[in-house]
Every structure is written in C-alpha cells, then in structure tokens.
Structure 1
Amino acid sequence: MHPSDIIGSIAAIAMVFGYLPQTVRTVRTRSTDDIATGTFLMMGFGSACFAVQGILTGNIPLFVTNLLTTIMSSIVFGIKIYNDYFKKRR
C-alpha cells in the first residue's frame, strides 16, 4: 500500500468518525441550539463536492467517505432547519 493511500485511509476514518458523535447526539436529543447552521451547510456542501469528485475520478474511497459525511451533515442540518424554522412557528 502506497503511503498516500495510508494517509487517505486515516483521513477517511477521521472524517467519518468526526461527524458521527454530533450526528448521533443530534438524532438522540433533537437539540440543535448550539449548532451553527452555516457550518453544517458548508461542510455538507463541501463533502458533496468531494463525493462528486470521487465519482468523476474513480476514487471510490473518496466517494464513500464523503457520501457518508454528506449524509450525516444533511441529517444534522435537516434537524437544525426543522428546529429553527418549523418547530418555532407552532
């Protein structure tokens, strides 16, 4: 395995596990008061762009990692939008 593959694998694991605690906490508690909307919007958008790059270049690890982080970021962002805009209107 090439050193760049090893570094890429470590980065992929770190990215997925970096998003996981916040996603699990948000899904369990439904609390999003301390989450910056713009942060999760931009991180999700960036991950989605990297996922597309992974598809276009045939880089499956890049695609899978960023697909997972896009999904997790979208879950948190969706709950945040629901809490901020729909729940408060009731």
Structure 2
Amino acid sequence: MDWEMVGYAAAALTMFGFLPQLVKMARTRSVDDVSLLMMIQMGIGVALWLAYGLHLNNSPLIVANVVSLWILALGIVVYFRYTTRRYFK
C-alpha cells in the first residue's frame, strides 16, 4: 500500500471538511449555528499539525494544514462579517 497516497487522501478530506459550512454561512448569511470557539480551537489544532508537518518535512501534513488554516481563516472572517452586521442594523 502506498501510504503517501493514503496521507493525501486523508489530507483532502480533512482540508475541505469545513468548506460546506463556509459555503452555507456565505449562502445564508447566517452564523447563528456556528461556534466561534470551535473555529478558534480547530485553527489552533491545525496550526500545531502544520508545525509538526513542517518539523517532519511531511508534504501531506503541510499541504492539508495550510489549506485548512486558510479555509478556517475565511470562516472566521465570514463569521465576524455576519455577526457584526447584525448589531449595526
């Protein structure tokens, strides 16, 4: 078995795991059912995995976690965009 391919398959599933939630947040313009704490906690965990991947020089870990952090960062931006908008109407 090619474990590198298993790593890339796991990376693909992980890095795009939050994408459906991000799309739903943008489409509905609602973040009522989204936990900011969860996104921050997940971001810290992903950053630690990225550091570990960099230490090991492991491409699947590095790629997956860079993309995951980027998607989570977009999620946090969208979260604040639709949360603050609610308070200023």
How far is 1:70 from its partner? 0.7
Percent identity for Structure 1 against Structure 2 = 30
Q: Tell me the residue number matched to 1:43.
A: 42
TM-score, normalised on structure 2? 0.80
CA distance in 2, matches of 1:87, 1:57: 42
How far is 1:9 from its partner? 2.2
Q: Tell me the residue number matched to 2:67.
A: 68
Pairs within 5 Å for 1:7-46: 7-46=6-45
CA distance in 2, matches of 1:46, 1:39: 10
RMSD of Structure 2 on Structure 1 (CA): 1.9
Counterpart check, 1:79 vs 2:78: yes
How far is 1:34 from its partner? 0.8
Q: Which moved more, 1:74-83 or 1:41-50?
A: 74-83
CA distance in 2, matches of 1:56, 1:30: 39
CA distance in 2, matches of 1:71, 1:28: 19
Q: Runs ≥4 in structure 1, deviation > 4 angstroms?
A: none
TM-score, normalised on structure 1? 0.79
- Aligned pair count reads 88
Q: Which amino acid in the other structure matches residue 71 of structure 1?
A: W
CA distance in 2, matches of 1:68, 1:30: 23
- Secondary structure in 2 aligned to 1:18? coil
In structure 1, runs of 5+ residues without a counterpart are: none
Q: Tell me the residue number matched to 2:57.
A: 58
How far is 1:87 from its partner? 2.3
- Greater RCO (Cα-Cα under 8 Å, separation 6 or more): 2
